[in-house]
Structure 1
């Protein structure tokens, strides 16, 4: 009972029956807050009719929008809110509705407002809230306001969206054109970016290949060229490309740095070679000076020979060490060999003298001057060399004999005076030994000469003798303390157990050299024995070490001999195509190995050193000969390059041949050092000229291609903006086609392909428009011949009614084509030639066929009864096109001629068909849109 009471006394808007609740809506006043809230509650009612009735009473869009944004919006609420916003319901002003639209978030509602809004500004405000591309495409295609369509189209950016817009924007050609242009630009930009990326990738691959290749003369230049090309690219590289570029640059710089280090090492080697040559020259000059001093001295003693031998060994060791580093110059080696030959002459003469010393002594004792003279001559003493004491005695004995036989006193006095002058010069130069020997000889001569002529020179001889005594005293004063120091030093050295064997030997040799350098100055037996005893102790201590050194020298000697044999085998059979660089490497490695194989036995060092020097000289000669052959081959390449530069051929082909010549240049190897650079500069200059001409030709071709593309683009734009209005304008299209043919071939690329496709589309569209214009003009001629056709129809009607056959005259103001004129004459002849006045079935069939043919030409569906005729006409058209192409204009002209020639025709038949014929012809006469 309580439920029944609640239903009886409950408000009607809260009644269980939906119809009662809907009726209760009309009694609620939305101006009262409580009733408005009730209406808002009813707007969320489960029943659609209740919701619709409640929403029709709510006119406040603010409240409706708040309800809509709460998330439980019904379709009726959305429809009612959209109707208010677009201006279909309510009287809300435009700013209020725009403000509400700017607060909307629902894309479907915004789409509805943008499509149905009653104001352009309102639609634009709704469009501004749309972000999804599919909604923008819908607005650009379906919106009824052009400004909104254009604004929506302007916000579409993706390639897929623009493609959809081009396909869907059928009602607005401007939107389609804008979308097509932006799509083309987008694709062109994408193609340009892809091409730029491809160019950068190709440049990176070239740079990486260059970084992996070995050094060549063009290496640094190509690296700089690739870096310039990289910097010229307009697009920005990505991180991976930049990293690859930097890594390739590092590898290229490493190759260049390694080459520069090698060049620096080569320059250092050249400086060392020059220093070695200077040192060798100083050694040769020192040996020559020593030999010259022996020739200038007065007597050759054993000490002089020992000193010369020590100096020769020292110079030979130094020369050998320098020769192991760098090969000596040929002229300097000849001087050295001459000096050695002079030394050998002196040594051999000394040996011969020692072998005959006893015999000479015996001949002097016996007074056998003849045998003495023979022995002196057998000694073969070099001319100009100071004689040994024994030999000097022999010369004096022989000279005395000759002097006794010589009665010319003046000659003897003249020789005495000359020797006095020589003694004075020796004293001035400090040559004590020579001066002492010469002074003794002069004293002996003074004893043998008469006193009268000798009297003027006695004082000078005494003065020079006194100077000689002063020099002897001074040498003794200096040499005495020096000998004491040397004795102390060698005894300390003998007692020093901390030094290594090598240092001990070096210091011992230095002390012995200094002791021998003193000669007989201040010499005494006690100091000599003391020095000799310490030296013997050192010799005993160094004996094991010297045996080890001797064994090592022997091993080094065997290794050096093996090295010489290998090099001699190489020189005996040199390869004709031997690479000078490989030979240079063999030379340098052999020289390094030779230096490592040191020391060797002294008695074999000179001979083996000269052998290795000759081998090095021959190897260098082989290198220079092979380098000379390479230089000659490179000169031939230069001449070929110069001839290639003068030839008349395509620049690209010339550049390819130049690259082949460059590859041959690299394969040849290096010419002699000074000549290589000059040849390379000349060859590179010629190649640069060839490549410069190729680049200039490419620039010219690129400029011509750009000009051709610009001309083609201008022609495309001009033809795109041209919309023919008459069929007689077909000549303009033919002229444009001829201009486009003259611009072919266009340069390959995406832009050219796009231009060709666009040009083909424009030409096809213009031909279709011209064909449509020609068809429309031909259809419009129907109205011009209608009076003549009506006259024929009236004549046919009178003839078929039993009247006479009339001849319809052609009006003077009417101009007909040959086909229409013949049709006119055929119509007149048909009435004249027909025997009876009944309607002909052939006329009916021809009219039906012409109607079906015209329907097929106009593209209409036609009657089903005409389907067999339409099929037959299509078959005939296919058969006709096998021989030649028939245009639609010609077909229409034939149809019009057939309509004019078909008669005599009953009036009822024509009345039934003329409506359909006029409709078809009117559809054909419609002009195409521009």
Structure 2
């Protein structure tokens, strides 16, 4: 117990002291100190001595876990294995778990120096270090251990080194078999990895390509190919590592593209559906707004319900898919418009009682004051309502407005009449004042009587203002009358004498009538002051006037007859015009009835024909020319009786204007049709089908020619526009023709280029051709059979393109067969090369085996061919090395039998000396049921097997081999060798 009070000797700096202290320690009582020394003592010898004193396996296991290097670990493990041999496997596993943390060279030295041979062998066999295994395979005493190590070795380089260093025949043979297996396995691995790399490469390339309709199918095909490879065993495990990561990465990218496109398609469908619904709601809003604008509503209840329903549907739709800003703006704008219309309707309904009350007051409106008051109330109510012009007016409001308009018109008319009358009378009063000032009593009396008569039509302020001015002039007018009556009597007597003298003179009737008229006018001027006071003088004047006027009556009677004749001519002209107008109107009316009585397109066309016929039956051109001469004809028949002049002129004017209106209507209708034809022609400019546009334009030109009279200037303007549109249509035709020619030329160049490129691909070697299928598919798909080509060369171009495609397909599909023939030919050439060497050796001549190997290495022989020729080559090398060889007598018999079977199978004629044997073999095959005819593929497979057997036989005597080869040459012709 006092050993720990002072620094113990086993911890002394001197190794000898520590060694003596170790020897003094008790193995049972001081096991912890001994264990510590075995682990941490600086001296390797002391550690070894301490370890030797421990016999407890648990303690040894604890020490083993604390070993810091492979040498110490192997030393502890050797001691533990010596105590418990059954723990060697467990120790081997433990060593393998720890050796990765140690230096490889230290591990190799530790295993080599391990004291326990069983443990060393176990550690050696479990080691993956090629150098350790290689050293043991060449130096181990046990042949079984060497062979076990050979089985353990999988490294090609190590096996090749071992093949060079090994001296034991069994080891050499085992190494050769192992190398052969490794090469075959490596070739299989390389082929598999190459195919896997190609799949990854194609999948990566596909991931970087844009989406097309074959994308998913291509991904599935590559995935199936990978899954078929995934079961392949490479390095004792399925495909893994970077290739799997590359595959998964490319597959994930492809799947992401597929998912993205599917999701994009789904989202696009949802968005499109939602946008369609949103657009439909907007269209419903627009329809509702247009309905409000064009149709009268009785109330706004349906409008309010429609808006509520549209709002509800809109909120539901945008919850599913949010609307675009443009769509939101459109809906919001339409809704605001509809909401504004609804607000106007609601205001109208609230003001309806006011409108009703105001319109009921119209019956009591008589005076200006009442009418003006009502007008002001109506104006304020309309301003308050402010009904938009774009909305359809409610029927009630329209009626009220119509009534208000009538009342307003009445008010304005009455006010205008009063104002006009008052203004006129004011001017008359000013004229009256001038007459009084100028002492013109006649004019003053007339004007005064007129003013007093017109005053009856004035009311209100207008009457008051006029009356006041008239009363101011009354004193002056009365004074003028008194002075005029005093001065006119002598003048009247003078006029009577003058009239009596006229009857005594023989004057021209017209001059006489004029003189009588002048005296009468003077008399009327004189009697203007007081006509009743001069009755006696008037009777005398009247009698003299009648007597003087008697010669004029005869003259006027003659003039009346001329006027009556002129009147008859004018009446005839009016009757002719009226009949002409009636006939024209009947023709036009019948035409309109025909148009209205037809509805179908076919009957409508008949109606159009009837209309054209009717229109053509009226000679509008002659009618227009005669109309221009009508005024001159009318003026020829003047004068007419005065009492009939206004009536007949009015009748003529009515007929004249009626005919003028019909001609104008016809001209306007024809002008409208010309405008419509221009509009149709201008629309044809934007029509995509130019051929159809040209065909229609020809009909339009014919219609233009068939149109009747119209206004000259307007006709010229429309004709220039029509001609411009027609010219544009024909210009487009020319452009399209040129564009079509250019397109045909481009299509021709394209298919020629594609044909050339495909032909170039077909001429490639098989190694390159095998990689060009995708490029061929891409080139072939670039040509669309719907594309038009020049008619004279289309068939030839398409045939050349199809021939090029078929030539590539034939070349591509024949790659496998050509490669097989190439490999078979290489095997044949190799077999003949070995045959030549074997025959040379049989002739006791030297053979350069290195040259043979070099020649074989240059031939493209596949693995199967190598498995066939390799034994012959090894046999040849062995024979050369051992200088021991002999002719293969049995091989001749076997090859002859093989040739006979192949001749029977391929139905090739056998040599005459083998006829009996062939018959016997055929009989045997017949008995065994082997005479069924093989398919071409089965026949080729059997011949290929026989070819490999032929190539495997060596050391056949030259003469026998030549005969056999001649027989096989005929047979191999079946497989093109």
Relative to the length of structure 1, the TM-score reads 0.35
Q: Identify which of structures 1 and 2 has the higher relative contact order when contacts are C-alpha pairs closer than 8 Å and 6+ apart.
A: 1
Relative to the length of structure 2, the TM-score reads 0.34
